[in-house]
Amino acid sequence: MKWETILYDKVGSVAKITLNRPDKRNAQNYRMIVELDQAMKEAEKDKEVRVIVLAGAGHSFSSGHDMSGMAPEGGMAGWRIGSEEHRDFEEKFFVGKCLYIRNLPKPTIAQVQGYCIAAGVMLASMCDLIVASEDALFSNMVGRMAASGTELLVEPWELGVRKAKEFLFTGDFIDAREAHRLGLVNRVVPREQLDEEVMGLANKIALMPPVALSYTKESLNRTQDIQGYTQSMFSHFNIHMLAHGSDETKAFIEGAISKGATGTKEFTELRDGKFKKT
Ligand code: ZN
């Protein structure tokens, strides 16, 4: 298929999938999520591919979901927020496609630079390993828009519950050093060494026997599942959908529309403006 929003490269036994909307800081729109899913499936099927790298072109890994480009063609626009169709869409499209990446039987590495925000954190967290550059900044400020986290609540698993609360209650950024200290990322390197570091790690893992690797990954994921990982994601998703239908969310969206804050810059100001002094 012809990719519009991603790049797909094979370097030896490594498949590198790059989110490729650099002018939008790789905001994930409908098309990108579909293409990412297809690219992951292609890499999974390809017997030559031993390791999958997920990267972002340009300044940032991903600034989250594209608030203006998420609706499937002809869909969603007419949906009532919180309706069965809306819930069904989010469950299959966001929850399903993310957990597919988490569970696919090949090792995955997220290569993160610049902003990694909200659904960017969710996506990176689906990968087995995360390597970040020193300039990486992580945040999830969807609470400021009256949402309850993104569709998957990865934060307590990635940061620990105490830090997850601070992260989600404030929407503040944590930098690469702090992310490393908390265990969110495996390694931190200068920006100019990021590509080399990730490819070096990917090539090393690619030398491991692939079946043993897939079993190890499955066993590690199951260990996390026994502690409730996947169940907790579906439990949170119900809460997330409840928050979508809340009066607070409606008020925020209506406020944004009435103030004409539909462009990214105005929208960001409405969301983050009052927090800037804190
Ligand atoms: Zn949602």
Residue 76 has pLDDT above 70, yes or no: no
Q: pLDDT for 131-173, tens place per residue? A: 999 999 999 999 998 889 999 999 999 999 999 999 999 999 9
19 band by pLDDT with thresholds 50, 70 and 90 = very high
CA 244 / ligand 1 centre spacing (Å): 7
Q: pLDDT for 35-68, tens place per residue? A: 999 999 999 999 999 999 999 999 999 999 987 7
75 band by pLDDT with thresholds 50, 70 and 90 = low
Residues lying with their CB under 5 A of ligand 1, a single-atom ion? 90
CA 86 / ligand 1 centre spacing (Å): 9
Cβ distance 5 to 29 under 8 Å? yes
Cα separation of 20 and 24, whole Å?
Answer: 9
The amino acid sitting at 152 is L
On whether the 6-245 domain is CATH 3.40.140.10, my answer is no
Name the E strands within 71-149: 108-112, 115-117, 129-133, 137-139
Burial of 182 from C-beta contacts in 10 A (0-12 / 13-18 / 19+): middle
CA 203 / ligand 1 centre spacing (Å): 36
CA 228 / ligand 1 centre spacing (Å): 21
Domain boundaries, the chain: 6-245
Residue 137 region by backbone torsions, left for phi larger than 0, else alpha for psi between -120 and 50, else beta: beta
| pTM passes above 0.85 | yes
Tell me the average pLDDT across 84-107: 95
**Among the ranges given (8-12, 164-168, 259-263), the one the predictor scored with the smallest mean pLDDT:** 259-263
CA 54 / ligand 1 centre spacing (Å): 23
- Please provide the average confidence, as pLDDT, over all residues in the chain: 93
CA 5 / ligand 1 centre spacing (Å): 21
Of 42, 3, 41, nearest to 19 by C-alpha is 3
Taking the CB of residue 248, how many other CB atoms lie within 10 A of it? 11
